[in-house]
Structure 1
């Protein structure tokens, strides 16, 4: 099968291209600007007018990873409009052209944030969507638009909503957490009792590959995770174990953390650390027979081993 991949130079895209090529697929990596990776196709800026025709020629499926994740907006800019231009309008433009080019299946990488920002009960595909920020709203609008296109054209749309993805080369908050543990700095997170799901990169690309080829994936929305939820302290201890380092956790009450977060303008960051975001991924397991090929322990070991 020939599979077009957007966002091919990103954290997930790079791993997916390598994984598909190793699995006897023909990966077609697309990029916004020339990057030098093998067989890349430069498509330019992603919006409602991007021309995908040459990239889509002969493709059987599309995996759409490219997205706007952060908006560096000034006081006069509309963040939601920026997100919609890339995450909604550009996505639907690609899907329409894919259908016209004879592509059979379109895999859209959405986000668990479409379900919401977290709650005590596990999220499921059947939940009423509750996106809160501009990023999640733009992804939810893209999902709805893709479903309309599917009904109108017969394009087989598969929607995946992952939680936080980690693995070799991970950046942002997960990298900062690992660096903190590596340096032996104490963390005031020992009194947190929450449940959070994460997804190892190797499990993610395996699930994407299955959704590209499995007949029963067509028209489905799936939530993904490693198959277990852990508390923030448990995750830190697991990272420390993989590093062979002690986990230095201070049992600071959650209420104190919330108060300090409010004072420092970090209310949302503290809420993510202390709150729950638990995913029930049983649907993809039962419908497609998927089992994550790696445990969380194996994923953390690989992630830590790659840390420079």
Structure 2
């Protein structure tokens, strides 16, 4: 979120495009049958209108260097697949959480665990997340499923939460009562504008939903872990880690 490189796109391309394509070419030369690439929902964009989730057919619209580099990698892998016969599976997850999670999710857990007041009681957005165990299960399925070859999939827990709902359910998993303040969303957006924090606030106030219907229909996949089970697991790790 805090890119320090002078040329972020070149820095991301070096890893997400060049290194990925180099590995895929070596895999194809070694006779590897299938290559699974963990891309990002950022390929599709940063937000969705409420109730209108991203699908695999949506026109890609990355808005930052990271998302752009992931899209370029996807396109390069599709081209390699056509040239070499290597089967490529593209998976675009949203935010991934589980034990060891860091960044914004860990910060939110810390604020809730310490019962800090948070101004999200009135936020009625929808965000798709994916528990690490659910993502791993989907990757495992894609390793050998014949219908996964040369496909793009979106993946999530199958239940989208508002920021307020996430705070309440994560607090329950942590064994604390959340302190959510009923601050109007328009006031939060105004504050973000004044402080230059629009992008950060958008992740808390805006919606980003993905439709996993293709994974359900084509691969008969269902997330094996519920949201509450996954939140209980990450909360248990957080408490035991003594953070």
Aligned CA-pair RMSD: 1.1
Q: Residue 32 of structure 2 aligns to a residue in which SS?
A: coil
Q: Does 1:180 align with 2:76?
A: no
Residue 104 (structure 1) aligns with = 33
Residue 90 (structure 1) aligns with = 19
How many angstroms apart in 1 are the aligned matches of 2:21 and 2:174?
A: 43
How many angstroms apart in 2 are the aligned matches of 1:295 and 1:82?
A: 36
Instruction: Tell me which of 90, 104, 118 is aligned to 1:159.
Output: 90
Q: Does 1:148 align with 2:79?
A: yes
How many angstroms apart in 2 are the aligned matches of 1:193 and 1:298?
A: 23
How many angstroms apart in 1 are the aligned matches of 2:129 and 2:2?
A: 20
State the structure with bigger RCO (CA 8 A, min sep 6), 1 or 2. 2
Q: How many matched pairs?
A: 237
How many angstroms apart in 2 are the aligned matches of 1:251 and 1:279?
A: 27
> Which of the pair is proportionally richer in helix?
2
Structure 2 unmatched ranges of 5 or more = none
After TM superposition, which residue ranges in structure 1, 4 or more long, deviate above 3 angstroms? none
TM-score by length of 1: 0.75
CA contact (8 A) 1:161 1:223 kept: yes
**1:81-103, CA deviations, whole angstroms, 9 ceiling, x for partnerless residues?**
11111111111111111101101
**1:158-185, CA deviations, whole angstroms, 9 ceiling, x for partnerless residues?**
0000000111111111011011000001
Deviation at 1:246, TM superposition (A): 0.8
Deviation at 1:71, TM superposition (A): 3.8
Deviation at 1:292, TM superposition (A): 0.8
Structure 1 unmatched ranges of 5 or more = 1-68
How many angstroms apart in 1 are the aligned matches of 2:97 and 2:178?
A: 19
> Which of the pair is proportionally richer in strand?
1
How many angstroms apart in 1 are the aligned matches of 2:10 and 2:218?
A: 36
CA contact (8 A) 1:182 1:243 kept: yes
How many angstroms apart in 2 are the aligned matches of 1:201 and 1:141?
A: 25
Q: Residue 229 of structure 1 aligns to a residue in which SS?
A: coil
TM-score by length of 2: 0.95
Instruction: Tell me which of 260, 270, 286 is aligned to 2:201.
Output: 270
Q: Does 1:191 align with 2:122?
A: yes
